[in-house]
Amino acid sequence: MADPIVEVQNLRKTYGPKVAVADVSFSVAPGEIFGILGPNGSGKTTAVECIAGLRDADDGHILVIGIDPQTHPDLIREHVGIQFQEAGLHDKVTVLEALSLFASFYETPADVDDLLTVLDLKDTRDARFKSLSGGQKQRVSIALALVGNPKVAILDELTQGLDPQARRTTWEVVRRARDTGATVLLVTHFMEEAERLCDRLVILDHGRIIAEGSPQELIDSVGDARSLEDVFVALTAKSPAASTTRSA
Ligand code: ADP
């Protein structure tokens, strides 16, 4: 692999007695679309929040473009764009105002009009955030993650709540971001999305990696699996953590 742009070694994060991330290590090469998959509560969001410097890890080492986000969260923000499940914008702000404001935080922002066009938001540029549909709000949150032209874009449940057509358009936007130089960390629990988009991925279960590889490698590694969904079902059935939960 080329020198990794993101390196995570033995990451651990607890919330009081709750172990959200037990022990996670992986590397992401520049230009990859790298998936972090797993069921709800498996530690995906906590892991990427540590990578983005938004949460303090309890243990482990992280490097993003050679910078430790735990000790230099301010330096990381210039290079990492993060999309949250909730954009958290003020109801009265318009789409254009929000994007222009976020663009002003960065030295070399993306072209706002271009982003509006690509994300099919041109007609809503002067609309207030609160008046947008769920799908439009989702696309604004993606635009906000990409407006800084980040070297690493972290997209969390990218297509949650989108209809199939909007989902496919959004996948194109992610491929385009990669083609124009971004590395993408894609958090998802949609197996089909990961299968179509990701170059490589890890599957988390109860804060640990239970599988890693390209979608095809993972499918080939499990007997009669024909899709990532099959792989996921087979692996989580075997996972000791999963069986503990089932018998609990
Ligand atoms: P995922 O993104 O895979 O759904 P999360 O990282 O959000 O997983 O959560 C992992 C575990 O940590 C879950 O059990 C969740 O309830 C718990 N958790 C997440 N955030 C907090 C928090 N701020 N305080 C306490 N527990 C949390």
pLDDT digits (tens, 9 = 90+) for 197-219: 999 999 999 999 999 999 999 99
Domains of the chain by range and CATH?
Answer: 1-79+150-248 (3.40.50.300), 82-146 (no CATH)
Q: Is the CB of 45 under 6 A from ligand 1?
A: yes
Mean pLDDT of the residues in the chain: 89
Per-residue b or e along 52-71, where b marks 16 or more CB atoms closer than 10 Å to that residue's CB: bbbbebeebebbbbebebbe
Q: What is the pLDDT of residue 242?
A: 45
The reported pTM is 0.90
Q: What is the pLDDT of residue 77?
A: 86
Q: 84 C-alpha to center of ligand 1: Å? A: 14
In this model, does residue 88 exceed pLDDT 80?
no
Question: Which residue type is seen at 79?
Answer: H
Q: Is the CB of 105 under 6 A from ligand 1?
A: no
Q: Report which protein residue has its CA nearest ligand 1's atom 21.
A: 15
Q: What is the pLDDT of residue 238?
A: 66
98, 144 contact by CB (below 8 A): yes
The DSSP output letter for 18 is: E
Q: 14 C-alpha to center of ligand 1: Å? A: 9
Q: Report which protein residue has its CA nearest ligand 1's atom 17.
A: 20
Q: What is the pLDDT of residue 87?
A: 60
Mutate to test the pocket of ligand 1, among 11, 12, 15 (most ligand atoms within 8 A of CB): 15
Q: 107 C-alpha to center of ligand 1: Å? A: 33
In this model, does residue 244 exceed pLDDT 70?
no
Q: Is the CB of 40 under 6 A from ligand 1?
A: yes
Question: Which residue type is seen at 173?
Answer: V
Q: 47 C-alpha to center of ligand 1: Å? A: 10
User: Tens digits of per-residue pLDDT, 102-121?
Assistant: 999 888 899 999 889 888 89
129: its two tokens:
């955030």
Please list, in sequence order, all residues whose beta carbon lies within 8 angstroms of the beta carbon of residue 162, skipping any fewer than 6 positions away: 134, 135, 138, 170
189, 157 contact by CB (below 8 A): yes
Place of tokens 């041109």: 122
Please list, in sequence order, all residues whose beta carbon lies within 8 angstroms of the beta carbon of residue 236, skipping any fewer than 6 positions away: 39, 205, 210, 242
What does the pLDDT average to over 143-152? 92
What does the pLDDT average to over 33-44? 94
Q: Report which protein residue has its CA nearest ligand 1's atom 23.
A: 15
64, 76 contact by CB (below 8 A): yes
CA distance 14 to 243: 22
CA 141 to chain centroid: 12
- As a whole-number percent, the residues of the chain with pLDDT over 70 amount to 93
In this model, does residue 37 exceed pLDDT 90?
yes
In this model, does residue 247 exceed pLDDT 70?
no
Place of tokens 């072209």: 111
Cα–Cα distances (Å) from 101 to 91, 121, 134, in that order, read: 15, 16, 22
Q: What is the pLDDT of residue 240?
A: 57
Q: Is the CB of 17 under 6 A from ligand 1?
A: no
User: Tens digits of per-residue pLDDT, 63-83?
Assistant: 999 999 999 999 898 899 988
What does the pLDDT average to over 238-244? 52
Q: What are phi and psi of 9, to 5 degrees?
A: -125, 120
User: Tens digits of per-residue pLDDT, 39-64?
Assistant: 889 999 999 999 999 999 999 999 99
CA distance 6 to 36: 13
Q: Is the CB of 108 under 6 A from ligand 1?
A: no
Q: What is the pLDDT of residue 133?
A: 85
Please list, in sequence order, all residues whose beta carbon lies within 8 angstroms of the beta carbon of residue 156, skipping any fewer than 6 positions away: 44, 45, 48, 82, 83, 84, 85, 187
CA 20 to chain centroid: 17
In this model, does residue 4 exceed pLDDT 70?
yes
213, 18 contact by CB (below 8 A): no
